[in-house]
Structure 1
């Protein structure tokens, strides 16, 4: 599961990294504690032009057929292995794939029944990267208002992530951006992209417990904890 992430990059940096135009209708500020149910930037193909665009969607997918938006609390992540068969995600997999820009994410390792250690995880080169996602558009029958939402796709952990969680976000290499976003035959979807990222290209380090409070949002959240330096591996 991935329930928090951070994004140091602003709108200009995201646009440059994903080779797309700057949106003029919304602002994107860095955030060091991105939480579910907040509006965040995603990269998708414009439905009319087919060009890449940056859009602001709410984290927690609400499928188009849902009776209400409360399902979003249980759909912040989607398992790669069951996307094609899940009623919640299978239509989005066919037509509404996206990329979520981030600079890193957080996970919690259970120490004992009462405590957990928070870790920050990123790429060793510290570059902005993308996690595979799906998006959907839902309309509130009572108000007629449309709501666009997204989910992050997870897969089996690599050796770096395995000691503290049984899932990890699907990090998409830049070379696969186009394949993941582009329209495809429903029988030949680019699901081979949904694999664990090489552990040797990632780093994880202990950080403080302040990430647990969504009201905290500052660069201090990713500072290495005093009891442990930045590590390439956990053990």
Structure 2
């Protein structure tokens, strides 16, 4: 499951590209710092875009915590979209340039000495081919303990992710970001893997 992503673009780049959607993007809590993030993780506070509560047809950017505590107190940071009806007011978008997945490291060659420490997992960065940035579909809620918090939605893996993981986050290009915020578009129409070749993978560790 995805527990780390990154975003290095400046806010103005996101705002400029978002203007192409025709949907007004508001900042009800002021423009966020939006510092470059080489990697943000569970419980970090990160910017999201969601429908504006007091302005139908518009969107707002706010900074909220990634994950809320589940019944077992473990953080809910990924949320299965499969078969769920996700109402538009609870939908959100997480702007990123890429996300990471991890796989077991390759086994040592035959006869090699056992390493003193357990080797780190291999780390892979995934980006949306042909896009400077994209969004991961999310869901947000007001949790009694964590306050307003969000989680990334997941779906079955597409052909680009399947060799690395048995689930994947829901990836949306800008046109589908608009549809995700549209209450007339069922969540099931967008919570699906992309065709082969849509995502590029690069090993970074």
Q: TM-score range by the shorter chain?
A: 0.7 to 0.9
Distance in 2 (CA, whole Å) between partners of 1:138 and 1:74 is: 12
Structure 2 partner of 1:81 = 82
Q: Do residues 138 (structure 1) and 132 (structure 2) align?
A: no
Give the structure 1 partner of residue 161 of structure 2: 161
Q: Which of residues 187, 191, 196 in structure 2 aligns to 1:190?
A: 187
1:196 aligned counterpart, secondary structure: coil
Shift of 1:155: 1.1
Q: Under a length normalisation based on structure 2, what TM-score does the superposition of the two structures give?
A: 0.80
Which has a greater percent of helix?
A: 1
- Say whether the 8 Å CA contact 1:110–1:164 is kept in structure 2: no
In the alignment of these two chains, the number of paired residues is 186
- 2:94–2:135 CA contact under 8 A, matched in 1: yes
* TM-score normalised by structure 1 residue count: 0.71
Partner of 1:54: 61
Q: Could you tell me how far apart the structure 2 residues matched to 1:162 and 1:4 are?
A: 18
Secondary structure of the structure 1 residue equivalent to 2:82: helix
Structure 1 range deviating more: 39-48 or 21-30: 21-30
Unaligned 5+ residue runs, structure 1?
85-92, 141-145, 209-235
What RMSD, in angstroms, separates the aligned Cα atoms of the two structures?
A: 2.3
Question: How far 1:178 sits from its partner (Å)?
Answer: 2.5
Structure 1 residue 175, shift from structure 2 partner? 2.0
Q: Distance in 1 between matches of 2:77 and 2:39?
A: 15
Q: Indicate yes or no: 2:43 matched with 1:37.
A: yes
Q: Structure 1 residue 96 and structure 2 residue 90: aligned?
A: yes
